[in-house]
Structure 1
Amino acid sequence: MNIESPAWLGNDPQAPFPPVSRALREPDGLLAAGGDLSPARLLDAYAHGIFPWYSEGQPILWWSPDPRMLFRSDGVRLSSRFRRGLRGSGWQACADTAFEAVIDACAGTPRPGQRGTWITPAMRAAYIELHRLGHAHSVEVFDGDRLVGGIYGVAIGRMFFGESMFSIASGGSKVALAALAHRLRQWGWPLIDAQVENDHLRRLGAEAWPRERFIATIGDLCGQPGVPGRWTERFGRLSASELAAPPTGG
């Protein structure tokens, strides 16, 4: 029996990944195994539409599913009822003020159907290093001094690759996602990668793109000028009540 298996990566973080067209159909998108989580390897992976996801005790597994789930930055949908609730909310969103707290909350918040909660110690350390280097960013939602929601991911050029989000209070992750999309739309960043399809993301407005279209699009966006370093000052503070109105972008 001929059983397909992913390519095995060596130790050189500069070595290229296999073409994403070689990713397996079952499990969908599994492309390669091994390698490391160095900044160079991670940035090369994201720029080519590849991301790591694996469980403790497994080798590092690299994925590029087809189709690919993503949000348009002007396409995050919040229900009318949820928006009405935001009008009187005192929640505030900011960026890169509590990256480690966000990644830890994502790791500790199980959500069926979402891969992002499987954050191993090695993954945690790798993304904290990317954050230190100015490539990984978080958006935090605070109720006073209490962190109630957040999202984190990797930015290359004008493309944001979402990794995981969490809620401690109901709706916290939705506000984090909406705040991120709001700012990215203002900066002229059109897309947020959401990796794999699930019903929750679809309800929030995510779209499924053929992988070939996704790869071609991010190739252009990743080559454009981005926002290097920490985003805290440029992002500023965004009140949840500002997100109550439907987006006006097209």
Structure 2
Amino acid sequence: MLLKDKVAVITGGAGINGLGFATARMMAEQGAKVVILDLAVADPQAAAARLGEGHMGVVANVTDKASCEAAAAAVQARYGRIDILVNNAGVTQPAKFLDITGADYDRILDVSLRGMLYASQAVLPAMLAQKSGAIVCISSVSAQRGGGILGGPHYSAAKAGVLGLARAMAREYGGSNIRVNCVTPGLIATDINKGKIPEDKRQGILDGIPLARIGEPADVAGCVVFLASDLARYCTGVTLDVNGGMLIH
């Protein structure tokens, strides 16, 4: 097993059809003790229970620093260590550039970027004490293309910020044996975009993807597991594209 006895924390992981839960399930299958952090309305405890015994759900709001610190303390109290963090929590919004309000901008960046900052700051003391750790951050092809199919410009900005912050963390903490990497998914079949792709545009989208299909959450989860595992022990500051070849075009 790639992650035997590792303790993995995943933010925004309670959505059963999302990238976070797919990652949680695959990490559990690879031997990790998984902790799902999410809002109360998402019921992270129920999501963790679906993984079987030995896992944990914690109510937390990644936009609140104290909430992240309390969640990390709860994980430490139960397991005594934190080996992996997956910064997965994020929200999107389709909008034209001139239509983005200050509130829109703050909401998107608060979850995707501020949430990454606070969650990472909360777990880093444990990783520094252990002299080991792996952080994987979920960005997006939208950060690389300057826009996507569903997310607006502020979503692109937030996800581009994820790439920059991750690289800065990788540079700062590499000497402490803490690796920080990113995954940039393309169009993935999750609840966030379910039913939002017009049928008259679907074929045109597929024509721009060399693998000729929309990705599945497990496609992304496999790459996250790789980066979190010792198979990627000499990888830090990496951006791993998971987009079916979309950027070739």
Task: Settle same-fold status: TM greater than 0.5.
Answer: no
Structure richer in helix, relative to its length: 2
Structure richer in strand, relative to its length: 1
Q: Which has the higher contact order (CA 8 A, sep 6+)?
A: 1
* TM superposition score normalised by structure 1: 0.29
* TM superposition score normalised by structure 2: 0.29
